[in-house]
Amino acid sequence: MYEFAIAWEWLALAVRWLHVITAIAWIGSSFYFIALDLGLVKRDHMPAGVYGEEWQVHGGGFYHVQKYLVAPASMPQHLTWFKWEAYTTWLSGFAMLCVVYYGGADLFLIDRHVLDIAPWQAISLSLLSLTVGWIFYDQLCKSPLGKHLWGLMIMLYIALVAMAWGYTQIFTGRAAFLHLGAFTATIMSANVFFIIMPNQRVVVADLIAGRIPDPKYGMIAKQRSLHNNYLTLPVIFFMLSNHYPLAFATAYNWIIAALVFLMGVTIRHWFNTTHARKGRPTWTWLATALIFIVIVWLSTVQKPPAEATTAVAAANLRFSQNPHFGAARDIVQSRCSMCHAAEPVWEGVNRPPKNVTLEDDAEIAAHAREIYIQAGRSHAMPPGNVTEVTPQERQLLTAWFESAVAGEGKTQ
């Protein structure tokens, strides 16, 4: 079925193309309106209901923009809405998540060294996290805490860091970063879909009916826009990061993610302040550079390797020098190594299960306790006893471990 492979590849490209285009349109218009909003100036004798205005020059002409807060006295004849940029970005992004990560779950979503789950479980966790994330965020904004700008921001930050850690405990580092981006972007799109747009529709309905709109709708939308503003840059980082293994596939990747969210704030803060004509806070660039250097350094820090792989480690000599070792090793090599190898030969097993390799003396000695538990004292291994380990063999594995441990007790 080579046709399928080709069609799939092109589908992936088409969806990615669409996603990048819509994301540029969304982020572009959102940045434009943020800057416009912050740059509004008040002057005397502005028309009734106008909050501020701004002059701009672009494309061979001058623009004179006025912002009404909450709304003009009557419904304008033509009204341009900005919503499809956000919706199509989310929809195309979700399509890409399906094509790349759900379609290729075994390769890209699941890391059996992290968590050994089936594709359907991984996909369910992915969908669940995106949905629950939005509900949690939305409730937080609507709770009493939502009235405290900084309290809410700090809570949101803690939630994002917790998600960063959580995703790295479930998925591959690559999928963890991508999901952190998708998690954040889902909140941003849902803000547009569930909060900002419905509120604007209420205001428009009021205008048409000749009522004066309640300013609270504008306030709520403003809060969500502010969050979207600070979350944009980290999302782009996470979406691009899957090309950079040092970011997502190193030991402290979740701390790196936590710092990326901070960089998003420090960078945006400079632009927000500048557009509001409140000076140019250079310290934000200094802070950004510092955080970036810490990220680079973090990516080079390695966790100590879990176990010795070449020579039998001194601590495990008691197992390899035990008189039962030869027989135990023969059992393990004939009943377990077909799956528990760097390159398993058992059909359907593509990686050493749970990262347990049982090929040479050193590996077998290092896993003595697990072998004892999984195959000696219990018959958890091999699964379904597919390689037909006999009761006598289990007894021997038990005797090997128990005598080695007991022998050590005597010599001490």
Which residues are near ligand HEC by CB under 6 A? Answer: 116, 332, 335-336, 338-340, 346, 349, 353-354, 356, 367, 370-371, 374-375, 381-383, 386-387, 389
Q: How far is the CB of 216 from ligand HEC (least distance, A)?
A: 52
Nearer to ligand HEC, 291 or 368 (CB): 368
Nearer to ligand HEC, 174 or 340 (CB): 340
Asked whether the beta carbons of 248 and 176 are under 8 A apart, the reply is yes
Please provide the distance, in angstroms rounded to a whole number, between the alpha carbons at the two ends of the chain. Answer: 64
Taken in order 371, 375, 380, 381, is the CA torsion positive or negative?
Answer: positive
Query: What is the distance between the alpha carbons of residues 372 and 377, in angstroms, rounded to a whole number?
Result: 6
Query: What is the distance between the alpha carbons of residues 367 and 333, in angstroms, rounded to a whole number?
Result: 13
Tokens of 225: 């826009």
Cβ contacts of residue 33 below 8 Å, gap of 6+?
A: 82
Residue type, 24: I
Q: How far is the CB of 309 from ligand HEC (least distance, A)?
A: 16
Nearer to ligand HEC, 216 or 354 (CB): 354
Q: How far is the CB of 356 from ligand HEC (least distance, A)?
A: 5
Nearer to ligand HEC, 122 or 375 (CB): 375
State the CB neighbour count (10 A cutoff) for residue 86. 26
Nearer to ligand HEC, 203 or 371 (CB): 371
Nearer to ligand HEC, 323 or 383 (CB): 383
Q: How far is the CB of 385 from ligand HEC (least distance, A)?
A: 9
Tokens of 37: 């909003």
Q: How far is the CB of 164 from ligand HEC (least distance, A)?
A: 25
Query: What is the distance between the alpha carbons of residues 325 and 302, in angstroms, rounded to a whole number?
Result: 33
Q: How far is the CB of 347 from ligand HEC (least distance, A)?
A: 9
Q: Which of 365, 367, 363, 369 is nearest to 402 (CA)?
A: 369
